[in-house]
């Protein structure tokens, strides 16, 4: 049987075409932007998140974020503070049916080294709750932001998304400050 010597490159993967279809911005290095896009892809298609958005600038301190962050709406609540959990259990509410809250996601790669300073910089640049695409004018946003502040029990939190070389993504909740653990 004759060997076919013509080499045909395989079709690009769904992720590859997704990454190529998104242009790069100038604010951050291409590495960070691709990383964010890949995490966003994972959230959208593996974890059914909706209303996803990549943030490059901080609305809180009016400058570029240390790296692009993602915000989005999970299909169900991914974090319930233990005190809220107790209250809801007392009320007899079903914890899985709670209204999902919009979350911050910090894209990272497993090979990276982080430090307390870098976590501090990220937390200093974000609000408690991120704003989606639906929020309209800036004025409304400001009003909304004020009402949102200090609303969450446990304060600021984000989801640390760590990408491995085999494109596995693991998600960890990181709190700013001392927040007692959940009793799963």
Distance, in Å, from the CA atom of 157 to the CA atom of 147, rounded to the nearest integer, reads 17
Binding residues for another protein, total number by CB under 8 A: 35
Considering the rule CB under 8 A, would residue 109 count as an interface residue with another protein?
yes
Closer CB to another protein, 28 or 156, in the complex: 156
112 binds another protein (CB under 8 A): yes
The residue with tokens 């007392």 is 90
Residue 53 pairs with which residues in a beta bridge? Answer: 71
Backbone torsions φ then ψ of 83, nearest 5 degrees: -70, -40
Contact (CB, 8 A) for 174 and 160: yes
Q: How far is the CB of 181 from another protein (least distance, A)?
A: 4
CB count within 10 Å of CB 34 equals 15
Structure tokens at 19: 């990454």
- Tokens found for residue 17: 């075409």
Residue 178 found at the interface with another protein (CB under 8 A)? yes
In this structure, the number of other CB atoms found within 10 A of the CB of residue 3 comes to: 4
Stretch that binds another protein, among 6-14, 15-23, 92-100, 176-184 (CB under 8 A): 176-184
Query: Which of the stretches 3-11, 30-38, 64-72, 73-81 binds another protein when contact is defined by CB under 8 A?
Result: 73-81
Q: Least distance to another protein from the beta carbon of 95, Å? A: 12
CB of 59 to another protein, least distance (A): 20
Comparison of 24 and 61: residue with beta carbon closer to another protein: 61
Q: What is the dihedral of CA 103, 167, 75, 108, to 10 degrees?
A: 0
Cα 138 from Cα 131, distance rounded (Å): 11
Please report whether residue 52 would count as binding another protein according to CB under 8 A: no
Interface map 123-162 toward another protein (x if CB under 8 A):
x-----------------------------------xx-x
- Kindly list the residues in this chain that would bind another protein in the complex (CB under 8 A): 47, 74, 78-79, 108-117, 119-120, 123, 159-160, 162, 170-184
């Amino acid at each position: 049987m004759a060997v076919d010597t013509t080499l045909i490159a395989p079709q690009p993967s769904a992720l590859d075409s997704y990454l190529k279809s998104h242009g790069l911005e100038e604010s951050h290095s291409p590495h960070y932007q691709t990383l964010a896009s890949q995490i966003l892809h994972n959230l959208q298609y593996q974890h059914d998140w909706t209303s996803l958005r990549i943030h490059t600038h901080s609305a809180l301190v009016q400058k570029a974020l240390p790296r692009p962050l993602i915000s989005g709406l999970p299909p169900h609540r991914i974090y319930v503070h233990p005190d809220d959990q107790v209250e809801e259990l007392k009320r007899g509410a079903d914890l899985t049916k709670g209204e999902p809250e919009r979350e911050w996601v910090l894209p990272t790669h497993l090979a990276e080294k982080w430090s307390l300073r870098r976590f501090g910089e990220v937390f200093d640049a974000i609000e408690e709750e991120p704003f989606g695409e639906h929020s309209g004018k800036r004025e409304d946003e400001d009003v909304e932001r004020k009402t949102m502040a200090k609303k969450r029990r446990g304060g600021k939190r984000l989801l640390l998304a760590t990408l491995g070389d085999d494109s596995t993504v693991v998600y960890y909740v990181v709190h700013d400050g001392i927040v007692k653990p959940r009793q799963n």
